[in-house]
Chains A and B, each alone.
Chain A
Amino acid sequence: MIETFFNAAIMAQAWPIILAGLGNTLALSLMVVPLGLAGGMALALLSTLRSPWVRWPLMAWVDFFRAFPPLVLLIFLYAGLPFAGLELGGFACVGIAFFLNTGAYYGEVLRAGIESVAPGQIEAARSTGLTRLQALVWIVLPQAVRAVLPDLLSNTLEVVKLTSLASVVALPELLFQARQAQSLTYNPTPIVAAAAVYFLLLWPLVRLLSRLENRAVASRR
């Protein structure tokens, strides 16, 4: 059993491959998290415009991409669009898919944060001559982000986990590399190692999230 799942010799052999995968997973996360946050912020800001010409398309957009499984979206971009003459490459497909999918989730989180700020504050700011944009930047957004920080972090955890989807378009991230090492060594140890690496990577975030959530509960009392 130990020989099968925790084989030290195989571990030593697979380690450099897995490490390269970890590097790519981190790089991918550093791309898709800001991309999703930017998309989400754009959606949340658009949602503050009350016009029905913005509101209905926005709602449809968010619903659509929240209901669309990200794996299906990614495979469609990667393997479907070439039939329309559009070959984007794995990296670009991952970027677009995450922008669309996680942007919709971040957008809903940020929108809730913005709506949690009492509208009277905006009126007070406007009454002192601040523009709508200044009120948003200095009054609304700082409070909105603080109010939903646990939700943002929780969503970010999911996003980092979701980067393993990139393995289906052959991006050499952690899971992909572990599978490579597994097929080279005919042993599942590299998969176990990848799982351990994911855990070590995400566990501090999970702890931080718990603390934020506990603090949020305590301050509500």
Chain B
Amino acid sequence: MIQAKGIHKQFGALHVLKGVDLDVAERELVFIIGPSGSGKSTMLRCLNRLEVPTSGSVVVDGIDLLDPRTDLNHARQRIGMVFQSFNLYPHMTALGNVTLALRKVAGKSRAEADEIGHAALARVGLAERADHRPGQLSGGQQQRVAIARAIALEPRVMLFDEPTSALDPELVGSVLGVMRALRESGMTMVVVSHEMGFARAAADRVMFMDDGLIVEQGPPAQIFEAPLHARTRGFISQIQRH
């Protein structure tokens, strides 16, 4: 579903990604962990071309994202993204947030879009909140609206960038619950997060990234209990202490 090869990314003199390969199979959930600044967000953002790699190739669902002939805005509907800071549109209702791209990009009528939007909000447990503005919702509810906004477009892949890091601890569970349901529905997912409990329960594969490279990867049990590299071990004992 995702084939990213030899991704390098430089911001001026700063070399952030130093040749990352990422292959994600259909229905697979890949979990990415790593210290802050190691390039996880940049990697994820290369997968929908919010960031253009300096070199390498990115193919998602058979679409070459770096080919200039690719209709990027069409391709992006197939790649949902959820951000740490929700990034909802505060001047619109929850339903408005979910239906904007349905109407403006997917070309649905307002009635069609509303129907799809209500269904998407129901999937994240917010059917009753359709008319609320983001400011009237808790952080957990806002993040679920953001997930609904992405899944309403029926993406083939979902990218999550630390979806629970900005949430109060008691709100994390509701968002992880929605992600788990999404996983069970067969969605292909790439998740950057430090929620190790979720990773153990739901991830097929965990990757440890450090300094712009994937240091090691494997099943959750192996990475968390028996990592091969000292850097992985150090990082995992560090996040376990929290």
Contacts and interface: CB of A to CB of B under 8 A. Distances in A.
B87 interface: yes
Interface residues of A, number: 18
Q: Which of A120, A124, A126, A142 gathers most chain B CB within 10 Å? A: A124
Interface string B80-91: 110101011111
B76 interface: yes
Nearest to A132: B73
Nearest to B78: A129
Contact of B48 (A127, A130, A139, A142): A127
Q: Which of B77, B80, B88, B101 gathers most chain A CB within 10 Å? A: B101
Interface in B50-73: 50, 73
A123 B87 contact: yes
B74 interface: yes
Contacts, number: 65
Given A138-B100, A138-B104, A126 B76 contact: yes
A128 B100 contact: yes
B153 A128 contact: yes
A124 B100 contact: no
Interface of A: 118, 120-121, 123-131, 134, 138-139, 142-143, 146
A124 B104 contact: no
A130 B50 CA distance: 12
Contact of A128 (B85, B90, B91, B105): B105
A132 to B, nearest CB: 10
Given A120-B83, A134-B104, A138-B100, A127 B90 contact: no
A130 B91 contact: no
B235 to A, nearest CB: 27
Nearest to A120: B87
B91 A143 contact: yes
Contacts of B87: 118, 120-121, 123-124
Contact of B104 (A118, A120, A126, A130): A130
Given A130-B73, A143-B91, A124 B146 contact: yes
A134 B73 CA distance: 11
Interface string B86-117: 01111100000000110011100000000000
A118 B91 CA distance: 12
Contacts of A120: 83, 85, 87
Contact of B150 (A121, A128, A143): A128
21 contacts: A118-B85, A118-B87, A120-B83, A120-B85, A121-B89, A123-B87, A124-B81, A124-B87, A124-B146, A126-B50, A127-B48, A127-B50, A127-B150, A129-B73, A129-B74, A129-B76, A131-B73, A134-B105, A138-B89, A139-B89, A143-B91
